[in-house]
Amino acid sequence: MAGVWPVRVKMGEIVVCARDEAPEGLSIRGLGSCIAVFIYEQRLLRVAGMAHVLLPQPAERSPLTSPGNFAPTAVAALIDGLMQRGVERRNMLAKLAGGARMFAFSNPERESLGERNIRAVLAALAAERIEVVGMEVGGSSGRSVVARVATGGMRITSLGQEPKEL
């Protein structure tokens, strides 16, 4: 779906696009503890994809839900989607954003959901041997991200702060 707006990646979704399918890139607005996992194709920069991960892993009691909700299944499905579009695994590079602790005064002793998400996504990427070349994670501010297929660049904005480029 080409258009003037970035392609929106909803909670639990995995979107894989060629350059001309997302000329304005892929975006997630208002990320809190969730993680945007962006994987692009180094040098060739033809196809890229993004997952919007909610949780480190499924709870035991979880009924059937989208694989995109959980770190290991989302990362695996994102890589699969990219391979189906002709991206070779050795050309895949990852960038991450999100995993905030939204309420600064929540129990600092306990690992927050955001922190657990970061750890789980990094572990899943390591298990798949995908190199992480940039991340803007943790902290206590929400983020919006736009990532470009054609450059592999990721722009991150937070309320009242200067945008950051990865």
Partner 1 sequence: MREHDPLGMSAEEMASLQRISDAGAQDAGKAISQITGLDFIFSAPGVRTLPVDDVPALLGGEEAAVVAVHLAVYGDARGNILIALEPESAGRLLDALVPGRPPLVPARLHDIPEMERSGLLEMGNILAGAYLSAVSRRLQRSLLASVPRLTIDMAGAVMDTLVVDSSGGQDSALVIQTELRARAGDIIGHILFLPDPATLPEVLRMLGRSLPPDPPEGD
| Binding residues for partner 1 (CB under 8 A) | 10-13, 29-34, 54-55, 58-59, 61-63, 65-66, 69-70, 100, 102-106, 113-114, 140-144, 159-160
Which among 26, 24, 28, 5 has a CA at the least distance from the CA of 15? 26
CA-to-CA dists, residue 143 to 46, 67, 74, 98, 132, angstroms: 26, 23, 20, 7, 19
CB atoms within 10 A of CB 136: 19
- Asked whether the CA dihedral 117, 118, 124, 130 is positive or negative, the reply is positive
- Choice between 32 and 45, CB closer to partner 1: 32
Can you tell me the distance from the alpha carbon of 7 to that of 49, in angstroms, rounded to the nearest whole number? 11
Instruction: Give residues with Cβ within 8 angstroms of 150, minimum separation 6.
Output: 19, 23, 45
| Minimum distance of partner 1 from residue 16's CB (angstroms) | 18
The pair of structure tokens assigned to 140 is 């206590």
- Choice between 69 and 130, CB closer to partner 1: 69
| Minimum distance of partner 1 from residue 45's CB (angstroms) | 28
- Choice between 13 and 128, CB closer to partner 1: 13
| Minimum distance of partner 1 from residue 8's CB (angstroms) | 9
| Minimum distance of partner 1 from residue 1's CB (angstroms) | 17
- Choice between 33 and 95, CB closer to partner 1: 33
